Structure 1
């Protein structure tokens, strides 16, 4: 099959606008992103280069799905699916009452701590927000917490799985940018906890200095036997975190091997708790299949589109545009962050990573900047996208379990202070890269 039109005659600039316009038009029809990107890739490949270009698309797709590290994605998703169905999160929340019950705003603070531990166990969002929406939101509303603070804490805390290892976002970035995922996990550890600390500080300031934000804590005496019972809820989750992250950081296991250790640890926890049944395993596997299937299809479409755009010379074109903006690398990074911020309001993070990182990462390397540091920046930016209107997924996850009188508008307005904290964290990371590159 011969080419139907001459891309060289059209020019890379108009061709880029045409490709982007076709993407937007098809997305507005409601077609899934995975099929939109694959369809546009086929249109430009077959139309501009003929049937010979199909080999390029298939070879790039094969390279993407053939990576050994990619096996860790379904394993970590399976961990999260099993956590969703177990009582681990509820036990964690109850155990941390021993700390949270002593300070004003304690329930909100312990919700953030639970979010951090759950993030370190699974590495994805969605399930965490739903779990905390069922466990923590009713308790905070019943105790008289400011509704906006309660909503914001659950959505922002539940999204920490994108930042704290073993983050699926970091794994996809590492695969796309050809960067060591172990290095990414190490680099993101401190920034992830820094962001969680920003949330805690904000909660404490609001609780102690703004009237009506949080109730005065009820310091009731807890018997020693009850304390020991509650503390047992910390043992299994912390052991899973230690085995998964410890095996990676100590060089005992690769990321893929550690993901298998994590699945075994969560399964063992469910067995010990008497929760490991056939419906438990079947539902967890079906949820994993649906999630990973979505990631793979988006990856196939985005990889094909980037391959065709690279064949057109588009990556060099966009690189020239970005590097021509300024001689200052920081300005170029800020422009990239702005582009990711806008895309994050409309597209899924998987598509954003696979569409933009093959373009952005070579520029970062050309500027002499560290792609590992940029990967942490990217994850922080995606944190913002999880909360940003109009399509921030965190809001929709919480809406599915929130009381009927809480609207999506209420949720999105509650997230604005936390989006501000996330933007602050991105700025800190840009101007103080040593936080990640310690």
Structure 2
């Protein structure tokens, strides 16, 4: 049998060649698995692919994925973003930065019902960027707040990427959702604090033509526009946190609630419903195929012995958990420069998790860390997906958008430092709710 280091090198080179040639991620995962198994002389490749594919797509926890995607697709076609903007604007009019905070909070709230980073950035950006420009806000800061806050769709539950990680790492999705709450709030506060400080430092230069004032009655009326979305968030996430429903059942509640909300907002139509179903099917099939490839890769890596060999190598290096986290952060940010977030997770889970387990790092905490690092990569060129979304909205150069998002890249890095120093930010809620 070929030496494991040679097999590993061939697998890595094959993966890079497939990815750079434009082959789908799912087919790349399957292809390198076949190559690896063939190199060690395994003659049961077809049987292994069949059994791993079946187990990858028949897990009950996975049924939450298409439902949450469908919920996001329905809400994407409502006037929810407009109501968020109109509801939050009066409430934040006295904050340094004013409507820039609406960008941040709108993304945070929409993330809590869409579960998608791209959908969050695109939906909120369509509403806020033209209005911010009209009122004379700094262009780069408007784009930066949207780029950074758009990544919240990856972290704030219900997060699609957390579901993918939970299925891949066999970690409770409900506990992952709980673990993502406080880090998501911390990130929102960091974004808002930076925006306020930037505005105060700018002084006169930071002042805009936004001289709109709101009375107390205006602020009270604005709250009415926030009631539907707050109700939906409470129904979906509250049912999970209170133990009333599983993530899958909560996702079903979310779909029903989003259809009701769509009807109440006057944006329900048969064409919109059919478009939302088509979008959900398309995205769910794409993710399902990726998960099949990832599951097969995990099985193949186990037969080859790469994860155990890497774990032993890491153990011999004597790295502390913090040193390992530093190296993994750099590794994932670099990898995220060329791959989307879900691909990063499914490509690396089978190899990285044994190292993490060897270092006695909590897999629940590691899932949130991984999502934060993926958030950083979403606003890092050349393949930061949020950058492309905002470039399409604004017509700006991709590097202009990346430069505008850079301060928020560092805010996410600060959040990683905080959860590393204080793991209870991640673990407190899951521990409290399950004790």
TM-score past 0.5 threshold = yes
Q: CA deviation at 1:79?
A: 1.1
Per mean C-alpha deviation after superposition, the further-off stretch among 314-323 and 106-115 is: 314-323
- 1:221/1:331 Cα in 2 relative to 1: closer, same or farther (>3 Å)? closer
Matched, 1:421 2:411: yes
Cα deviation for residue 223 of structure 1 reads 7.5
Q: Which runs of no fewer than 5 residues in structure 1 stay unpaired?
A: 1-7
| CA–CA distance in structure 1, aligned partners of residues 392 and 318 of structure 2 | 45
Q: Which SS does the other structure have where 2:151 is aligned?
A: helix
Residue equivalent to 2:286:
294
In the TM superposition, residue 47 of structure 1 has moved relative to its aligned partner by 5.0
Alignment correspondent of 1:220: 213
CA distance in 2, matches of 1:214, 1:74: 44
**Deviation of residue 329 (structure 1)?**
1.9
Equivalent in the alignment of 2:170: 178
Aligned to 1:3: none
Aligned to 2:401: 411
Comparing 387-396 with 182-191, which one deviates more in the overlay? 182-191
> By how many angstroms is 1:257 displaced?
0.4
Shift of residue 43, structure 1, vs aligned partner: 2.8
Pairing 1:208–2:171 present: no
CA distance in structure 2 between the partners assigned to 1:104 and 1:424 by the alignment: 22
Q: Residues 283-362 of structure 1 correspond to what in structure 2 (within 5 A)?
A: 283-362=275-354
What residue number does 1:365 align with?
A: 357
- Matching of residue 144 in structure 1 with residue 136 in structure 2: yes
For the residue of structure 2 that corresponds to 1:437, the secondary structure is: helix
Q: TM-score, normalised by structure 2?
A: 0.94
Cα separation, 2, equivalents of 1:390 and 1:229 = 43
| Aligned twin of 2:124 | 132
State the Cα distance separating 1:136 from its structure 2 match: 0.7
Map of 1:198 onto structure 2: 190
Does structure 2 conserve the Cα–Cα contact (< 8 Å) formed by 1:57 and 1:308? Answer: no
| Residue deviations 1:260-317 (CA, integer Å, cap 9, x gap) | 1111111100111222111110111111112112111211222222321221111112
Describe the superposition over 1:351-408 as per-residue Cα deviations: whole angstroms up to 9, x where unpaired: 2222222333333333332111111111111111111111000011112221x3x211
State the 1:214 CA deviation.
Answer: 4.5
Aligned ranges 1:82-93 → 2 under 5 Å: 82-93=74-85
Aligned mates of 1:255, 1:219 — CA distance in 2: 42
**Do the aligned partners of 1:326 and 1:332 also contact (CA within 8 Å) in 2?**
no
Partner of 1:385: 377
Aligned partners of 1:331, 1:15: CA distance in 2, in Å?
27
| Equivalence for 2:54 | 62
1:436 matched residue in structure 2: 426
1:133-177 deviation digits (Å, cap 9, x = unpaired): 211111112222221111111111111011111111111111111
The count of aligned residue pairs is: 427
Residue 427 of structure 2 aligns to a residue whose secondary structure is coil
SS of the equivalent of 1:391 reads: coil
CA distance in 2, matches of 1:430, 1:301: 31
Check if 1:267 corresponds to 2:259: yes
Listed as ranges, the matches of 1:39-188 within 5 Å are: 39-188=31-180
Q: Which residue of 1 aligns with 2:388?
A: 396
Q: What are the Cα deviations for residues 74-122 of structure 1, in whole angstroms up to 9, with x where unaligned? A: 1111111111110011101101111122233111101111111111112
2-structure distance, mates of 1:324, 1:143: 59
Alpha-carbon shift at residue 216 of structure 1 (Å)? 6.8
* 8 Å Cα contact 2:103-2:124 kept in structure 1: yes
CA distance in 2 between counterparts of 1:200 and 1:354 reads: 32
Q: CA deviation at 1:50?
A: 4.7
Shift of 1:221: 4.0
Q: Distance in 2 between matches of 1:45 and 1:213?
A: 60
Change (3 A) 1:89 1:13: same
CA distance in 1, matches of 2:298, 2:152: 29
Of residues 347-356 and 174-183 in structure 1, the stretch that sits farther from structure 2 once superposed is: 347-356
Residues 424-433 or 235-244, more deviating = 424-433
RMSD (Å), alpha carbons: 1.7
Compared with structure 1, are the counterparts of its residues 330 and 142 closer, same or farther at alpha carbon in structure 2 (3 Å cutoff)?
same
| Distance change >3 Å, CA 72–CA 214, structure 1 → 2 | farther
Q: What secondary structure does 1:98 align onto?
A: coil
Q: What is the alpha-carbon distance in structure 2 between the residues aligned to residue 122 and residue 347 of structure 1?
A: 22
